Structure 1
Amino acid sequence: MDRISLGNDEFEGRNNAYVLADDARDELALVDTGIATDGVRSDLRAGLAERGYEFADVDDVVLTHYHVDHAGLAGEIQAESGATVYVHGADLPLVERDPGAVAAADERRQTMLDEWGVPADAQADLFAFLDAASGIEGTPPEATPIEDGTVLEVGGWTLETVHTPGHAAGHCCFETIGASVTQRTEGEAVSDGPEAFVGDAVLPVYTPNVGGADLRVDRPLETYRESLERIADRDYDRVWPGHRDPIADPTARARDILDHHRDRTAAILEVLRERGPVDPWAVSQRLFGDLEGIHVVHGPGEAYAHLDQLRHDGVVTVENGRYRLEEPDVDLAGIDLPTE
C-alpha cells in the first residue's frame, strides 16, 4: 500500500488516495480519489506515475463516501480504465449524480437552512461558494453498490466493508483481512491486529462535521456516535484516514471525538441557558463565530445535530425552529451521552 497526498484547501486538510497494488497479478486499486480540479488531478497522475502507473491501469476504485474530495475523480479514472467503482448503496445515487437524488438533496438543504434560521446573506454566500465550486465533482461514474459486510478483493488486498454512517449516510470504512497494512508495507509489525481505511469517520486533527455534511442522515449525532463506538470496539492497531497522517491509536482517537461531542453538548446547553430559546444559527454563531463558504451549512448543521439529540433525549423542546431548555438546571450526567 502507498499513500498519495492530494491538495485540498477547503475541507479537512490534504486528501489521501491509497494505492493498493499486486504487480504479480497485475491488479491496481485506489481507495478514494480526491477533488476533480486541475491541481489534484495532476497530484494524482504524478503520484501514480512515480509508482509506474497511470489512470488507465486502475482496475478498481473504492470510495469511502460520496463527498467530492473523496469521489471527484472516480468517473474520470473509470472513463480511462474501465475500473469498477464501489460505494455504499446509500451514497451511490449522489456519486452517480442521479438527477432526482441531487434535486432531493438540494431541496433538503434549502429546507434545513431555512429551519435553522440561516439569514439570506449567509445563504447567498454559501450558494456563491457552491456555484464557484461546481466543477470539482468531476464526471460521474457508474458505481457498484456495496453494503455492510461486503468483502472486496481489490489490488491484491481483501477488504471488509464496515458501514459507519454519520458524516455521510453511506460512509464506510474498509478493514484489512489477512495481513495488516503495516505488516505488508513495513515488514513484521509489533501487533498483528487489523487496520482499516476510515475515510472521514475518524480524522487525526479535526473532528468530522456531523449534521451539515450530509443532510439526509436522521439523528445525525446519535448515528455518528454509534459509528465511533463501532470503530472503537473493533480496536484497530492503526487506521488510514481520508485526510492527513495515519492514526496510531484509533480507539483513543474515537474516544477523544466522543468526548469532544460531549463537551460540545455542554457548551450548547450553556448557550440555551443564557440565550434560549434560540435557533441553530444563533447557537452556531456563539460556537463558531462568523462563517463563510461551506461552513455556512456545516456550522448550524453541527449545532442542529446536538439540539436534535437533546430534543430526542427530552431535554429541550422546539417551536417554530427555536429550541428551549425544559429544565434550566439539567445535569449532563442525566443525559445519554458517551463516556469513556
Structure 2
Amino acid sequence: MVHADPPHEEVFPGIWRVPIAIPVPLRYVNSYLIEGDAGWTVVDAGHHTPQAEARWEQVLGELGIGFADIEQIVVTHYHPDHIGCAGWLQQRCHAPVLILDKELPQVERFWDGGSDAGEAIEAQFVRHGVPGEVTRQLPAHHLQQVAMVHPLPRLTPLAEGSRIRVGRRSFEVLWTPGHSEGLLVLWEPDERLLVADDLILRPITPNISLWPHSRINPLIEYLRSLERVQQLPARLVLPGHRHPIEDLARRIDELRAHHRERLDRVEAIVSARAAAADGRGDLLATAWDVQLQLFGPQPELIGTRFAVAEALSHLEWLVEHGRLRHAVEEPVIRYAPA
C-alpha cells in the first residue's frame, strides 16, 4: 500500500525536505532539494512508481523548479527507496547521478536485469531455517523490487573524501558502511550540517541486515561508522526517514545502546534454546527462530526479509566476537553458546 505524502518543507535555508510515499512499512522516504547558484541538487529519489513521478512533478511545480534546473542527483545508497526514481529523473533533467564508487557493485548485484539476487536471498534464507512457504516467494518478490528501480540511471562514481559543490556549500563525501556497503553521507562543516540518510534515524533505528555476498558482518561496520561520525560538531542532521535530528552525539549513544541490548537479547535467546535442546543439535536456534522471538510474525514479506536479515547480522556479530558459534552447518545453520 502506498500512503499519502506529508507536505514538503524548508528545513534549512535553501534545503527542502520532500517526503515521498513508498510501498513499504516505513511509509515515506525523505528526498532533499538543495538550492545552488546555477541549479538544484536532488538527494535520493524514492521508489519509481507513478505516485512518485506525480509527486516530483507536483513539488517541483510548486517551488517553481523546472526539470532543466536540476544540475545533479545524489544517490546515497542502492536501496530502492533511494535509487528507484533516479533514472526517471535523469531522463527528464539529463543531470548526472552520483553514487559512491563502493556502492556500484551492490547496484549491479541487486538491480541488474540478469542478476540472480532473488535466488541468492532464497538460498541464504533456506540455510538459516526459513520455512519453504516463505523462501519460495523470495525470487518473485525481488523482481517486484527490481521493477521499482528501473530505468536504472547512468551512474557517476564518487570517491570517499571527494566534495560535492552546491552553490556556496561544499559537502564532503563520507563513507559510512553498515546499512549498505557503500552508504555515503554528506558533511558541510561550515554550516555543521550532516545529510545522514539512513545512517542515523529517530525514533526508529536503521535496518542492519546481512545479505548474500556481504563483504563483512554489516553490524561491525555500522557501529564503526557511528563512531566515526559521532565526533562531528553537527547542529542539524537530515535523515532519510522521519524528522531532522538536532543532537547527533546523543542519538548515536542511543543507537549504540540499542544494539548492545539487542545483542544481549539474541545471545540470551540462543542460550535458552541450547539449554532446552539438551544436546540435540537439531533443536538449536536458527536465525528464523531468533527473529520470531525478536520481532514476532510479520504481516508482509518485506518485513520478514528485514527481520531475518537483521537477526543474522546480530548473530554473526556474536559469532565474530566469540560469544556464539555455528554448532550445526547442515542442512541449516544453527547457533549455540561459544
Task: Indicate the TM-score class for this superposition, using the shorter chain for normalisation.
Answer: 0.7 to 0.9
Q: Distance in 1 between matches of 2:215 and 2:28?
A: 25
- What amino acid is the match of 1:302? E
The question of whether the paired residues in 1 share the 8 Å contact of 2:20 and 2:30 is answered with yes
> Is there any run of 5+ residues in structure 2 with no aligned partner, and where?
1-14, 275-283
**2:193 matched to which residue of 1?**
195
SS of residue paired to 1:260: helix
Deviations 1:20-53 (A, max 9, x none): 112xx32211011111111122112211111111
Q: Pick one of 287, 290, 313 that aligns with 2:321.
A: 313
Per-residue deviation at 1:203? 0.8
The question of whether the paired residues in 2 share the 8 Å contact of 1:168 and 1:217 is answered with no
Trace 1:171-210 onto structure 2 (pairs within 5 A).
Answer: 171-178=183-190, 180=191, 194-210=192-208
Q: Pick one of 178, 182, 191 that aligns with 1:170.
A: 182
- What amino acid is the match of 2:228? R
Per-residue deviation at 1:19? 0.8
Structure 1 residues 213, 202: closer, same or farther in 2, change over 3 A? farther
**1:47 matched to which residue of 2?**
59
**2:281 matched to which residue of 1?**
none
Please, what TM-score do these two structures have when normalized by structure 2?
Answer: 0.85
Q: Distance in 2 between matches of 1:98 and 1:297?
A: 15
Per-residue deviation at 1:95? 3.9
Q: Distance in 1 between matches of 2:153 and 2:109?
A: 9
- What amino acid is the match of 2:176? T
Q: Pick one of 155, 171, 186 that aligns with 1:159.
A: 171
**1:295 matched to which residue of 2?**
303
Per-residue deviation at 1:71? 1.0
Please, what TM-score do these two structures have when normalized by structure 1?
Answer: 0.85
Q: Pick one of 3, 8, 12 that aligns with 2:26.
A: 12
Structure 1 residues 195, 130: closer, same or farther in 2, change over 3 A? same
> Is there any run of 5+ residues in structure 1 with no aligned partner, and where?
181-193, 327-340
Q: Pick one of 150, 173, 184 that aligns with 1:138.
A: 150
The question of whether the paired residues in 2 share the 8 Å contact of 1:15 and 1:242 is answered with yes
Deviations 1:117-153 (A, max 9, x none): 1111112344454344442113101111112211111
Matched, 1:21 2:28: no
Matched, 1:60 2:41: no
**1:221 matched to which residue of 2?**
219
How many corresponding residue pairs?
Answer: 310
Higher mean C-alpha displacement, 4-13 vs 303-312: 4-13
Per-residue deviation at 1:99? 7.2
**1:190 matched to which residue of 2?**
none
Structure 1 residues 127, 111: closer, same or farther in 2, change over 3 A? closer
Per-residue deviation at 1:13? 3.5
Matched, 1:259 2:257: yes
Higher mean C-alpha displacement, 127-136 vs 42-51: 127-136
Q: Distance in 1 between matches of 2:96 and 2:26?
A: 27
SS of residue paired to 2:336: strand
SS of residue paired to 1:278: coil
**2:5 matched to which residue of 1?**
none
Deviations 1:134-190 (A, max 9, x none): 421131011111122111113553110011100101101001143x2xxxxxxxxxx
Cα RMSD for the two superposed structures: 2.2
Larger RCO, structure (CA 8 Å, separation 6 or more): 1
Matched, 1:275 2:273: yes
